[in-house]
Chain A
């Protein structure tokens, strides 16, 4: 069935990114069995479309497929409206790091990141980032994707990648500062 590219090539280029695929799926779906299903679904989709891969940035190509798979699953979860507009699932909501809304909404899933105790403060802060900003930060820092690669995965202009990334960092610094201040206040 496979034409130009081989199964061995797929295994060599795509299978090393299982962990990255799982992390992204986990972040979207917040539930391990669902994330595993989505990763399996994504890999078969990737396998079928493997001939269309241009041979560069295997991880980014795969992550884009994982992202689409997850969005489509999230769409199914909200089936009750009958119509799913994917852009509402990942709408560009603007949440400032200082607003209380950030603490109630747009939080990252509890178990998306498992950090050791010494990373707990940072982990806590990262969880409070608005979703859109977190996604870009994660692709940059955890998956080591360039601006251009992130723009392709998420489907946003490079300028938006830069502004989201910048906002994420600024918000993180504010959040870390706040948590430090809180700690100091407790000590006084």
Chain B
């Protein structure tokens, strides 16, 4: 092995990231080459010094709080005495449906994404404002799925996540970019989530990533040839947890 080849691999050797057959050859070279040996020695010294640096631990108070939080939450009594993190989550979502005449400042987004994100957020706001959240109230996915027949030109995936803390409360059909789109409505703490489900081949299914517009979180993802866009007044973190759990549920189901 040549020195320049070895030098590219030195850090992987240092990090124990070389496959065994390469590791032997690199070690052997390092042992017998003064300059590579020196470089490796320096890297090792630096690594050891970094690892010896004292790190700041979390406070005892935080340790205590987290243990208490988990204990309280794990026992399923979140509504009893005030639990700090629940309070925290509530305050995090304070910036919600403050007013309906909201203007959407989305000028930093690329045009196409802006239009679509805007359309979903508008649909979300409209559903809250006009009390048109659900056209069918049902928590049973087997009731909701057939309800969409004839209303949208595809069969959306419908999952209930009640046992994960996100109960399905109903559904409706929205008009988005000249297309009928299936919308599932879930409860997320004090908030509702509008979940727009479209097949990925449809024109109305652009890829939407995630972000916050005027206090509303949105997150988009794709599973099983469907594009999902969730919009809610809940925090982005909570919405992401929702999307994660939903994806897992869909991927593991069927």
Contacts and interface: CB of A to CB of B under 8 A. Distances in A.
A76 B105 CA distance: 15
A98 B145 CA distance: 61
Given A22-B62, A172-B46, A83 B51 contact: no
A45 B70 contact: no
A141 interface: yes
B54 A114 contact: yes
Given A22-B58, A40-B85, A72-B237, A7 B52 contact: no
Interface string B48-88: 01111111111100110111011101111000000011101
A188 interface: no
Contacts of A49: 241, 244-245
Contact of B84 (A15, A40, A137, A142): A40
A72 B95 CA distance: 14
Given A39-B62, A48-B165, A23 B56 contact: yes
B160 interface: no
A15 B66 CA distance: 8
Contacts of A141: 47, 50-51
Size class of A's contact patch?
35 or more
Given A22-B62, A40-B69, A52-B248, A75 B241 contact: no
B108 A83 contact: yes
A7 B46 contact: no
State the majority secondary structure of interface residues on A.
helix
Interface of B is mostly: helix
Contact of A18 (B50, B66, B241): B66
B210 interface: yes
Contact of B73 (A18, A44, A172): A44
A123 interface: yes
Contact of B74 (A2, A40, A51, A86): A2
B106 interface: yes
A52 B109 contact: no
Contacts of A47: 70, 73-74
Chain B interface size, as a band, is: 35 or more
A43 B85 contact: yes
Contacts of B165: 1, 48
A17 B51 CA distance: 17
Nearest to B58: A22
Given A40-B84, A113-B53, A82 B70 contact: no
B88 A41 contact: yes
Contacts of B86: 44
A18 B70 CA distance: 12
A44 B50 contact: no
B43 interface: yes
A178 B236 CA distance: 43
B11 A122 contact: no
Contacts of A43: 66, 69-70, 85
Most B Cβ at <10 Å: residue of A21, A82, A116, A147: A82
7 contacts: A1-B165, A18-B66, A40-B62, A41-B237, A44-B69, A47-B74, A173-B42
Interface of B: 11-12, 15, 17, 42-43, 46-47, 49-59, 62-63, 65-67, 69-71, 73-76, 84-86, 88-89, 92, 95, 104-109, 163-165, 210-214, 235-238, 240-241, 244-245, 248
Given A43-B85, A147-B17, 9 more contacts: A11-B70, A23-B55, A43-B70, A44-B86, A52-B245, A76-B212, A83-B105, A141-B51, A162-B12
